[in-house]
């Protein structure tokens, strides 16, 4: 082959300039993707001749430690295809309004020159209103000028505020962290207006309710570099490769560094490739596996071997030693509430005695009251809210007894529920008798002893205990779980042994990476609690390389305190109207009307009455557990006026007047009659979201009841007769919403169905900030080019709307107006002590006391003519009240003044306030006032926390005290966040962020009832629903969900319908991007197993129809051996705008999207409030929008494909 | 000895997560143009699978690479002489069905559809003709075992397996997949060069990058067939063939190729290898079972004084020598013996080497039908591997199982060694035994661990500084001259 020559000759190679020319570029600009993604990857955007050409990753993250793999490069196929959007045919380049509405508007404007009056005339024209509502989603867009679009939007806003009340204006945008200013733009506008901001984390079913339940924490997880420190990683329903693409290398690298990886996933998912063991647990049955794991750990380690480290950990950091009162039940005893300090004579007069819990001190052989429970957090005397092992009354050292097995007053047979077999069991538990202050006696045991009984570890005690691991007649043995999980007992046993042994050898370096595959089921909290138990029992939580790493939608706004103040306009007005979206949509889209009592699909103890979820929802609002907007059946401005006219002078008197009106039924909560026109939401702003499809569980009900356009649901409304608290209206309303405004850069499903579409800048055209919890850096978005065509940044769009609203207000709302804002009891405030027991004032069980037994009613004043001025300046409340988050507060007055000096905005009254006119100013304001980005603030925050907790903490701010980041610095290079008491991890030195290390190492309590990790939940609802301890409950089956009544399963095959996060999109973003569509199959297909596909005659790439009574979706099939029988996968989330044909099952109407077959089902236990960690906070607590308990009929598409 | 410096690469397959970031990076920078839509200079395939283009590994179908005939190495397709006879017809040229018809959508309909009685949707249309298109195949069609019974089941490498092994691979509890990212192999013995009738394809002397001259190419397309990896594509717009250029414009600026830079699995390594060019033909002609070793043998030791002297005489620059000594590719391929060529039986001596993925373990069903994961050992053992060794031998060693087994002994030993450090639940004597069986010292094990997990970008990509001063006189005219502009040949 001598004729293959190396060529050096420059002449022969002059053509090589061709590719060099193509590579040439003019500049590289740092930005990222503000989509709903946890990546938080810093990108270089390449610009050539003023055009964005492509992007490649920035790789300059500061090194944490050369002995752990670096964070470079970060990114994924989706992010790198982002530049496609900018000049694509999907780009929204101009404002659009639907023609049917525009015609009405033009006509109205001919008659009425005033835009608000013109809008009012359209709203009064019922036929016209119906006409444009029915046209929604059916084409007919017309390009309009920004001026005209803003006129419509502002007129509708003013009209709605005046006519119905500001709490009829709602807004939705998800997960702020990835572009926090864009989120803040709309949220700030809404809160200045008095509108409603809808939550996202719970709505997406990404909030793991077990986290608030166990830790009093929304979610706090380790950064991905911490995986490297683990010795044993179990992934549970988390497809790391696919959904944590930039981080996945830490998993493989951890493996190479000697850790073991076990993957739990029903399908052979991408991450299974990295598994030492792949354990294909049946979909949705993980809880059964982990319950049995705990059985083995408790038996072999806790009972037999007793590793000192495990026992010591449980004593210090969990509720295991706390005492529970055993109450007489029908034929034995049942575990009731935790023993309260004020129940016994020694501690009777304790402040907050209902909220201080007791243990049995092995040293003194007597009851003891450890420091740190929630009662100490909110008492007058500070400094006792910590985890030192001391009795709070006299400071003596204590050694809480974990079990009464050796030292007891006898054994009692205690009830244990076996929900899988639908039966009750009795298991022996050792008890002690303690004297109560009234002279009576209580029989108590420890949480630890109850755990042993619950998990079925007999320890030689009598009762319905299993005989060994092979006994499958009793829960929760390895043999017992086989039928549920499909996994053999041997696997459970060896897994549990290796798990606990590894934890013992490494000091807790066992980690569970868990995600949507476990979290999006009805019983997610039970699954998580079973998993968390295995971590607690082996001392893994709060350890670097250990603990629960929940990754689904959990992004973290690192500078939370200053950001929240700015985003929710709390610098100008408090409180905010923050609504949990699952409750909101369940009620307002009327999905509650399509189901009967929850007992059909939810296993609850027999003695628990069968109720309808809507009734629990109504009671939760009444009791101040959950927010609900609109608040009342009247405009809250009107309610204020009436209160004033009644003679109520102070704000407190007005609140009392409102409470009285409610009690007397003269005023009603809107939730009690959601279908009455005065209670509908009216105007909806959607930005950086796909609220009408991607996240819309029960999408077809959104189309029907919100939009009033075509729908794919054929389900019957069946709730009549089974509800008590809610008014049943025979005819359900269609088209509740007057106007949907979508701010978007691409024509997605939500844009297509909206009335007004405003062109938004992409992520390469604006300034913003980005953080995530997958890494510990903060970095910016910055503009590579100006916003193209007529697009504007979100910040500028909401500024423009605010300006137009202010202008129109001069005629319509010229003077400041006051109104009543109803808010629920709040987490991280003394409201956590509001309701030691559940009482309903509406039933006369207690008095209606605002802020105690019902919501708080606050009086606020708004000047709509100043809306714009307030928007663009950082208001004085921040200076007056300081800032804070998660119960930590600090003063910022001097820093505020400094900001006002640097960049002043002159308010109409002459005051100089810090300007946030420009998004960069807003970014700098955020960076300057939060501990994570300004070391001086960190110092103040730690000092203030020290005083509350009573242990030294401020040294944690030493390393970063002189650091203060600015936006420009971040543009230069990403920077690492600083230690902050707002979060529970530590990042100084070479540490990787790991949650709860602050609790374990510095003895700061968890924000729970006992101040410890809580495995026993003694709220009345958890007792009543049989979920006080970790347990297993059957997942709802196809029959119990009753959504196949009109969808004949014989026409195809009935399959569990799963929508896990996919490979070619981040939710729906990128799903319509040509790059991703080309690398997949040109659409989002339905994955079927070989056997299931064969049974309905479907071959790979055939068109299929998947439907139930809720709706239908049509796509092509992928037939793969990777998929288990009995389930089909439609990866989240395709657009119904791309390649969706018509559906034969619905008479050749356009088929729907992935959320068409879903319908909301809320879990009642997640609605409770006013009780320690069970106290509402936005995106922290409340029922979640679960979606995996869904079944569809799948069949081959009949006949020709029609477009 | 004739010392030649070659920029060479390693893909660590265990770290590949199949995310395709590399594919899009390349697509954006190089082939986002009419005529190049279907070109994926970098693509990622799921294994088992049929890949892109369809069944590219099947040389009975595609006739790529070399064969030894009468003791001589000859292109399987045809030599340059025979090509002249067949020049207007290449019966082995892959057709549109082996690739796919590029498509787009009627996106405009979402904006422009007049008011109607149903929702508009953007339907697929051909990017070439603009007509409605039924999408039947794409550049990544069998991703993640999509259509496994139609595609994965036809993976040519499954031929090495027994009927029973093949059946088990496609039952859920035995399921397996891994990813195979592919770029041009910039071979030492490139058959694309050999088959080009126009002499348009050449290897750059200074770094060994194989390029198709866009000036000289005459659209014969013999290279498309001649390349056994199907990494040369014909641009239907310009009428020239194009292929991966290893991002030489980036390399010349000291930057790794876009697909390397963007690899978030951190699987890619780049460095210089020194080869003895005099022994290329000899190595490429070796018997199948010795091909891997033969290629390793012609890699020269950059620390050897004699090699260094000869290299200097042969025109290898000092910066190339420096890069060769720091080369992570040399460590993986030569020092540790972990990097293997893809399909050495193609006899093109690829300079891209793969570290095979660690093996997932099988599970087994009990009588009652419950799955149990194998209980033996801490990690996967070779005997329980879900993917039979023969499959990897078919991919990476022309069927020589002992070559692959050697690699797995090493990978397993390194994990055990590290496990012993991290958790201390492995007996020291077991670690010693494992290292011994893998012929590794503990410092080598440590070295493999560090190179596999910790390297920064600079350590993964050791790029020699390129001498560009020879063209500096062009500086005055930079950007003001168009050297060459492709035109469509009609």
DSSP structural state of residue A746: B
DSSP structural state of residue B427: -
List the structure tokens of A292.
Answer: 């049995």
Q: What are the pLDDT digits (tens) for B293-343?
A: 999 999 999 999 999 999 999 999 999 999 999 999 999 999 999 999 999
| Other Cβ atoms within 10 Å of B159 Cβ, number | 12
Q: How far, in Å, CA of A751 to CA of A756, rounded?
A: 8
Cβ atoms of B245 and B30 within 8 Å: the answer is yes
The confidence score (pLDDT) of residue A1 equals 43
| Helix and strand element counts for chain A (H, E) | 38, 41
Three-state SS for A977-992 is CCCCCCCCCCCCCCCC
Backbone angles phi, psi at B142, to 5 degrees: -100, 30
Cβ atoms of A769 and A923 within 8 Å: the answer is yes
The confidence score (pLDDT) of residue B468 equals 79
DSSP structural state of residue A703: I
Q: What are the pLDDT digits (tens) for A939-957?
A: 999 999 999 999 999 999 9
Please give the class, per CATH, of domain B1-42+57-93+183-354+456-490: alpha beta
The confidence score (pLDDT) of residue B474 equals 64
Q: Say if residue A2's pLDDT is above 50.
A: no
Query: With an 8 Å Cβ cutoff, are A1100 and B150 in contact?
Result: yes
List the structure tokens of A1021.
Answer: 């609802």
The confidence score (pLDDT) of residue A491 equals 94
* Bond before A1133 cis per omega within 30 degrees: yes
β strands within B177-267, DSSP E: 178-182, 201-204, 210-212, 232-235, 240-243
User: Each residue of B199-211: b (16+ CB within 10 Å) or e?
Assistant: ebbbbbbbbbbbb
Contacts of B416 in chain A (CB under 8 A): 258
The confidence score (pLDDT) of residue B83 equals 54
Q: Say if residue B84's pLDDT is above 80.
A: no
Q: How far is CA B356 from CA B1, B9, B14, B148, B389, in A?
A: 31, 14, 6, 21, 11
Interface test with B, best of A270, A1074, A1103, A1120 (most B CBs within 10 A): A1120
| B327 touches A at CB < 8 Å | no
The confidence score (pLDDT) of residue B386 equals 66
Q: What are the pLDDT digits (tens) for B34-76?
A: 999 999 999 999 999 999 999 999 999 999 999 999 889 999 9
Nearest residue to A567 (alpha-carbon basis) of A180, A899, A866: A180
List the structure tokens of A1124.
Answer: 């288990």
Three-state SS for A1115-1145 is EEEEECCCCCCCEEEECECCCCCECCCEEHH
| B476 touches A at CB < 8 Å | no
Q: How far, in Å, CA of A444 to CA of A315, rounded?
A: 17
Of B23, B172, B483, the CB nearest to A1124: B172
Q: Is A1036 exposed, middle or buried (0-12, 13-18, 19+ CB in 10 A)?
A: buried
What does the pLDDT average to over A311-326? 98
| B442 touches A at CB < 8 Å | no
Q: Say if residue A12's pLDDT is above 90.
A: no
Q: Which single residue is written with the structure tokens 């809320």?
A: A1162
The confidence score (pLDDT) of residue B82 equals 58
DSSP structural state of residue A1194: E
Query: With an 8 Å Cβ cutoff, are A15 and B484 in contact?
Result: yes
- Rounded to a whole number of angstroms, the distance from the CA of B21 to the nearest CA of chain A is 4
Provide Rg for chain A, Cα atoms.
29
Q: Say if residue B489's pLDDT is above 80.
A: no
* Bond before A490 cis per omega within 30 degrees: no
The confidence score (pLDDT) of residue B383 equals 67
Q: Say if residue A459's pLDDT is above 50.
A: yes
Nearest residue to A995 (alpha-carbon basis) of A216, A249, A36: A216
DSSP structural state of residue A715: P
What does the pLDDT average to over A900-905? 98
- Rounded to a whole number of angstroms, the distance from the CA of A267 to the nearest CA of chain B is 8
| B279 touches A at CB < 8 Å | no
| pLDDT band with cut points at 50, 70 and 90 for residue A597 | very high
Lowest-confidence pick of A313-322, B75-84, B381-390: B75-84
| Other Cβ atoms within 10 Å of A6 Cβ, number | 15
Of A17, A273, A482, the CB nearest to B484: A17
Q: Which single residue is written with the structure tokens 């993980």?
A: A286
Q: Say if residue B186's pLDDT is above 80.
A: yes
What does the pLDDT average to over A95-104? 98
Pairing of the two strands A1149-1150 and A1142-1143: antiparallel
Higher per-residue pLDDT: B358 or B30: B30
Q: In sequence order, what are the beta bridge partners of A413?
A: A428
Cβ atoms of A361 and A377 within 8 Å: the answer is no
Q: In sequence order, what are the beta bridge partners of A263?
A: A235, A278
Q: Say if residue A1038's pLDDT is above 80.
A: yes
What does the pLDDT average to over A858-886? 98
What does the pLDDT average to over A1053-1067? 97
Q: How far, in Å, CA of A347 to CA of B145, rounded?
A: 65
| Number of Cβ pairs < 8 A linking chain A and chain B | 392
Q: Which single residue is written with the structure tokens 């498509």?
A: B103
- For chain B, give the mean pLDDT: 91
Domain regions of chain B by residue span? 1-42+57-93+183-354+456-490, 356-455
Q: How far is CA A422 from CA A248, A287, A460, A1021, B280, in A?
A: 41, 17, 26, 19, 74
The confidence score (pLDDT) of residue A1049 equals 83
Q: Please indicate, yes or no, whether the overall pTM of this predicted structure exceeds 0.90.
A: yes
Query: With an 8 Å Cβ cutoff, are B484 and A14 in contact?
Result: yes
Q: How far is CA A888 from CA A828, A884, A940, A941, A983, in A?
A: 9, 5, 10, 7, 10
| B363 touches A at CB < 8 Å | yes
Nearest residue to B353 (alpha-carbon basis) of B405, B395, B311, B408: B395
What does the pLDDT average to over A81-85? 98
The confidence score (pLDDT) of residue A10 equals 79
Query: With an 8 Å Cβ cutoff, are A96 and B418 in contact?
Result: no
The confidence score (pLDDT) of residue B90 equals 77
List the structure tokens of A569.
Answer: 């306009």
Q: Say if residue B382's pLDDT is above 70.
A: no
The confidence score (pLDDT) of residue A3 equals 47
Q: Say if residue A722's pLDDT is above 80.
A: yes
Q: What percent of chain B has pLDDT over 70?
A: 91
Interface test with B, best of A58, A99, A256 (most B CBs within 10 A): A256
What does the pLDDT average to over A275-293? 95
- For chain A, give the mean pLDDT: 97
Cβ atoms of A993 and A223 within 8 Å: the answer is yes
Query: With an 8 Å Cβ cutoff, are B418 and A747 in contact?
Result: no
Of A259, A498, A1138, the CB nearest to B122: A1138
Phi-psi region of B424 (alpha: psi -120 to 50; beta: other; left: phi over 0): left
Higher per-residue pLDDT: A36 or A793: A793
Q: What are the pLDDT digits (tens) for A820-845?
A: 999 999 999 999 999 999 999 999 99
The confidence score (pLDDT) of residue B79 equals 58
What does the pLDDT average to over A452-475? 98
List the structure tokens of A69.
Answer: 């793999």
Phi-psi region of A1167 (alpha: psi -120 to 50; beta: other; left: phi over 0): alpha
Higher per-residue pLDDT: B485 or B438: B438
Nearest residue to A1119 (alpha-carbon basis) of A1148, A1086, A1162: A1086
Q: In sequence order, what are the beta bridge partners of A444?
A: A325, A432
- Rounded to a whole number of angstroms, the distance from the CA of B138 to the nearest CA of chain A is 7
Q: Say if residue A359's pLDDT is above 80.
A: yes
Q: What are the pLDDT digits (tens) for A1119-1168?
A: 999 999 999 999 999 999 999 999 999 999 999 999 999 999 999 999 99
Cβ atoms of A231 and A276 within 8 Å: the answer is no
Contacts of B110 in chain A (CB under 8 A): 90, 747, 752, 1137
Q: How far, in Å, CA of A449 to CA of A428, rounded?
A: 10
Provide Rg for chain B, Cα atoms.
24
What does the pLDDT average to over A518-538? 98
Q: What are the pLDDT digits (tens) for B470-481?
A: 777 666 666 555
Four-way CATH pick for B356-455: 1.10.3650.10, 3.20.20.70, 3.40.47.10, 3.60.21.10:
1.10.3650.10
Look at the alpha carbons of A923, A925, A931, A935 in this order and tell me if their dihedral is positive or negative: positive
Cβ atoms of A73 and A1071 within 8 Å: the answer is no
């Amino acid at each position: 082959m001598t004729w293959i020559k190396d060529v050096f000759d420059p002449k022969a190679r002059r053509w090589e300039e061709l590719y060099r020319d193509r590579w040439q570029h003019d500049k590289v600009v740092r930005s990222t993707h503000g989509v709903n993604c946890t990546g938080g990857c810093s990108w270089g955007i390449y610009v050539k001749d003023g055009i964005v050409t492509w992007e490649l990753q920035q790789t300059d993250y500061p090194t944490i430690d050369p002995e752990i793999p670096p964070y470079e490069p970060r990114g994924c196929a989706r992010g790198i295809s982002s530049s496609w959007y900018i000049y694509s045919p999907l780009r929204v380049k101009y404002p659009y309004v639907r023609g049917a509405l525009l015609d009405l508007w033009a006509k109205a404007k001919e008659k009425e020159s005033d835009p608000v009056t013109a809008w009012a005339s359209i709203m009064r024209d019922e036929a016209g209103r119906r006409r444009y509502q029915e046209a929604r989603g059916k084409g007919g867009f017309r390009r309009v000028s920004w001026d005209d679009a803003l006129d419509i939007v502002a007129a509708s806003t003013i009209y709605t505020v005046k006519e119905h009340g500001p709490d009829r204006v709602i807004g939705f945008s998800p997960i702020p962290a990835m572009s926090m200013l864009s989120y803040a733009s709309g949220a700030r506008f809404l809160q200045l207006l008095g509108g409603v901001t809808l939550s996202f984390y719970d709505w997406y079913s990404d909030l793991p309710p077990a986290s608030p339940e166990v830790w009093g924490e929304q979610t706090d997880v380790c950064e991905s570099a911490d995986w490297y420190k683990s010795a044993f990683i179990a992934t549970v329903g988390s497809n790391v490769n696919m959904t944590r693409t930039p981080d996945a290398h830490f998993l493989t690298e951890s493996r190479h560094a000697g850790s073991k990886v076990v993957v739990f996933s029903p399908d052979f998912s991408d991450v299974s490739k990295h598994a030492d063991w792949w354990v294909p647990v049946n979909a949705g049955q993980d809880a059964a596996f982990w319950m049995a794991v705990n059985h083995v750990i408790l038996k072999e380690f806790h009972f037999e071997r007793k590793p000192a480290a495990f026992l010591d950990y449980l004593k210090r950091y969990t509720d295991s030693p706390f005492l529970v009162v055993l109450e007489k039940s029908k034929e034995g005893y049942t575990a009731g509430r935790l023993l309260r300090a004020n129940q016994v004579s020694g501690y009777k007069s304790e402040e907050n005695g209902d909220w201080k819990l007791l243990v049995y001190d092995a040293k003194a052989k007597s009851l003891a009251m450890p420091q740190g429970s929630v009662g100490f957090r909110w008492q007058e005397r500070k400094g006792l809210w910590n985890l030192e092992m001391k009795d709070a009354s006299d400071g003596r050292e204590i050694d809480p007894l974990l079990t009464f097995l050796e030292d007891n007053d006898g054994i009692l047979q205690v009830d244990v529920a076996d929900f899988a077999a639908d039966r009750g069991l009795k298991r022996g538990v050792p008890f002690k008798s303690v004297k109560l202050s009234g002279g009576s006696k209580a029989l108590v045991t420890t949480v630890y002893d109850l755990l042993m009984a619950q998990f079925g570890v007999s320890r030689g005690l009598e009762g319905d205990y299993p005989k060994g691991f092979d006994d499958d007649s009793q829960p929760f043995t390895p043999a017992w779980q086989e039928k549920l999980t499909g996994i053999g007992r041997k696997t459970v046993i060896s897994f549990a042994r290796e798990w606990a042994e590894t934890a013992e050898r490494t000091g807790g370096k066992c980690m569970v990476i868990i995600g949507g595959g476990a979290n999006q089921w009805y019983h997610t909290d039970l699954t998580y609690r079973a998993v968390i138990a295995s971590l607690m029992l082996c001392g893994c939580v709060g350890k670097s390389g250990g603990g629960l790493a929940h990754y689904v939608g959990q992004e973290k706004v690192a500078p939370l305190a200053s950001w929240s103040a700015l985003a929710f306009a709390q610098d100008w007005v408090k409180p905010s109207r923050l609504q949990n979206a699952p409750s909101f949509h369940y009620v307002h889209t009327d999905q509650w009307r399509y189901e009967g009592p929850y007992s059909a699909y939810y296993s609850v103890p027999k003695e628990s009455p069968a109720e309808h979820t809507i009734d629990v929802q109504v009671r939760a609002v009444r009791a101040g557990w959950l927010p609900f907007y609109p608040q009342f059946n009247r405009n809250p401005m009107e309610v204020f006026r009436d209160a004033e006219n009644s003679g109520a002078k102070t704000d407190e008197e007005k609140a009392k007047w409102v409470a009285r009106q409610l009690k007397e039924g003269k005023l009603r909560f809107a939730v009690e009659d959601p279908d009455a026109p005065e209670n509908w939401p009216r105007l909806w702003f959607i930005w950086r979201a796909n609220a009408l499809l991607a996240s819309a569980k029960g999408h077809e009900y959104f189309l029907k009841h919100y939009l009033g356009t075509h729908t794919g649901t054929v389900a019957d409304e069946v709730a009549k007769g089974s509800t008590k608290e809610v008014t049943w209206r025979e005819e359900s309303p269609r088209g509740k919403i007057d106007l949907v405004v979508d701010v978007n850069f691409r024509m997605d499903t939500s844009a297509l169905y909206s009335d007004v579409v405003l062109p938004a800048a992409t992520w390469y055209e604006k300034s913003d900030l980005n953080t995530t919890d997958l890494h510990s850096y903060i970095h910016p978005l910055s503009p590579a080019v100006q916003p193209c065509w007529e697009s504007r940044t979100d910040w500028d769009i909401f500024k423009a709307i605010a300006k137009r609203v202010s202008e129109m207000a001069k005629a319509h709302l010229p003077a400041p107006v006051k109104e009543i804002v109803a808010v629920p009891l709040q987490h991280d405030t003394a409201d956590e002590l509001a309701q030691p027991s559940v009482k309903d004032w509406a039933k006369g069980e207690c008095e209606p006391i605002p802020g105690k037994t019902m919501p708080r009613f606050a009086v606020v004043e708004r000047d709509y003519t100043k809306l714009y001025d307030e928007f663009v300046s950082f208001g004085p409340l921040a200076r007056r009240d300081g800032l804070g988050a998660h119960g930590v507060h600090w003063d910022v007055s001097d820093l505020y003044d400094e900001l006002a000096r640097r960049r002043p905005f002159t308010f109409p009254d002459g005051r100089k306030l810090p300007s946030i006119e420009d998004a960069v100013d807003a970014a700098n304001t955020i960076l300057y006032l939060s501990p994570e980005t300004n070391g001086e603030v960190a110092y103040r925050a730690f000092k203030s926390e020290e005083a509350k907790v009573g242990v030294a903490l401020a040294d944690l701010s030493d390393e970063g005290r002189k650091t203060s980041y600015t936006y420009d610095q971040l543009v230069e290079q990403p920077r690492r966040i600083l230690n902050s008491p707002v979060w529970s991890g530590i990042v100084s030195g070479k540490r990787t962020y790991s949650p709860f290390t602050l609790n374990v190492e510095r003895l700061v309590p968890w924000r729970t009832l006992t101040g410890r990790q809580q495995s026993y939940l003694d709220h009345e609802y958890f007792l009543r629903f049989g979920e006080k301890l970790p347990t297993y409950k059957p997942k709802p089956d196809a029959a119990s969900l009753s959504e196949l009544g009109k969808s004949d399963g014989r026409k195809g095959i009935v399959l569990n319908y799963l929508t896990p996060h996919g490979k070619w999109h981040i939710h729906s973003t990128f799903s319509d991007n040509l790059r991703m569509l080309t690398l997949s199959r040109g659409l989002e297909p339905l994955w079927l197993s070989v056997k299931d596909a064969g049974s309905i005659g479907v071959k790979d790439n055939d068109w299929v129809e998947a439907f139930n009574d809720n709706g239908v979706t049509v796509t092509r099939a992928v037939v793969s051996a990777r998929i288990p029988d009995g389930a089909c996968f439609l990866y989240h989330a395709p657009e119904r705008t791309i390649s969706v044909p018509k559906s034969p099952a619905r008479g050749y109407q356009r088929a729907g999207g992935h959320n068409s077959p879903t319908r909301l089902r809320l879990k009642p236990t997640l609605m409770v409030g006013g009780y320690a960690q069970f106290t509402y906070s936005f995106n922290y607590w409340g029922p979640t929008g679960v979606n995996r308990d869904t079944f569809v009929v799948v069949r081959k598409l009949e006949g020709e494909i029609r477009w | 000895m004739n010392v030649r410096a070659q920029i060479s690469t390693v893909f660590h397959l265990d770290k590949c997560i199949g995310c395709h970031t590399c594919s899009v990076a390349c697509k954006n920078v190089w082939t986002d143009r009419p005529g190049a839509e279907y070109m994926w200079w970098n693509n990622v395939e799921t294994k088992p699978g049929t890949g892109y283009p369809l069944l590219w590994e099947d040389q009975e179908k595609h006739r790529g690479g070399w064969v030894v005939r009468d003791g001589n190495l000859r292109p399987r397709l045809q030599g340059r002489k025979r090509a002249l006879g067949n020049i207007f017809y290449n019966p082995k040229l892959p057709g549109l069905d082996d690739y796919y018809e590029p498509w787009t959508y009627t996106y405009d309909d979402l904006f422009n559809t007049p008011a109607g009685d149903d929702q508009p949707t953007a339907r697929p249309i051909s990017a070439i003709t603009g007509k409605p298109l039924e999408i039947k195949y794409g550049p990544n069609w069998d991703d993640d075992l999509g259509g496994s019974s139609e595609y994965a089941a036809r993976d040519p490498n499954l031929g090495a397996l027994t009927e029973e092994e093949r059946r088990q691979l496609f039952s859920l509890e035995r399921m397996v997949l891994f990813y195979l990212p592919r770029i041009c192999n910039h071979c030492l013995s490139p058959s694309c060069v050999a088959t080009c009738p126009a002499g348009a394809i050449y290897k750059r002397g200074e770094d060994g990058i194989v390029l198709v001259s866009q000036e000289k190419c005459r659209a014969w397309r013999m290279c498309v067939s001649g390349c056994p990896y199907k990494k040369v594509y014909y641009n239907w717009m310009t009428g020239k063939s194009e292929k991966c250029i290893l991002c030489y414009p980036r390399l010349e600026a000291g930057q790794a190729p876009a697909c390397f830079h963007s690899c978030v699995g951190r699987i890619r390594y780049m460095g210089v290898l020194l080869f003895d060019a005099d022994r290329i033909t000899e190595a490429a002609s070796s018997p199948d079972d010795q091909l891997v070793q033969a290629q390793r043998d012609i890699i020269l030791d950059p620390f050897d004084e004699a090699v260094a002297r000869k290299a200097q005489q042969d025109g290898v620059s000092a910066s190339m020598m420096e890069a060769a000594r720091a080369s992570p590719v040399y460590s993986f391929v030569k020092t540790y013996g972990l990097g293997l060529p893809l399909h050495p039986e193609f006899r093109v001596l690829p300079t891209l080497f793969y570290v095979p993925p660690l093996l997932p373990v099988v599970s087994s069903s009990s009588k009652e039908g419950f799955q149990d994961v194998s209980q033996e050992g801490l990690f996967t053992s070779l005997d329980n591997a879900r993917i039979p060794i023969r499959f990897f031998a078919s991919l990476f060693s022309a069927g020589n199982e002992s070559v692959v087994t050697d690699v797995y002994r090493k990978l397993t030993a390194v994990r055990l060694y590290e496990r012993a450090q991290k958790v201390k639940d492995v007996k020291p004597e077991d670690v010693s035994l494992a290292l011994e069986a893998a012929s590794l010292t503990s410092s080598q094990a440590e070295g493999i661990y560090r190179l596999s997990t910790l390297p920064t970008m600079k350590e993964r990509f050791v790029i020699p500084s390129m001498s560009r001063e020879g063209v500096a006189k062009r500086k005055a005219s930079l950007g003001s001259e168009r050297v060459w502009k492709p035109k469509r040949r009609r």
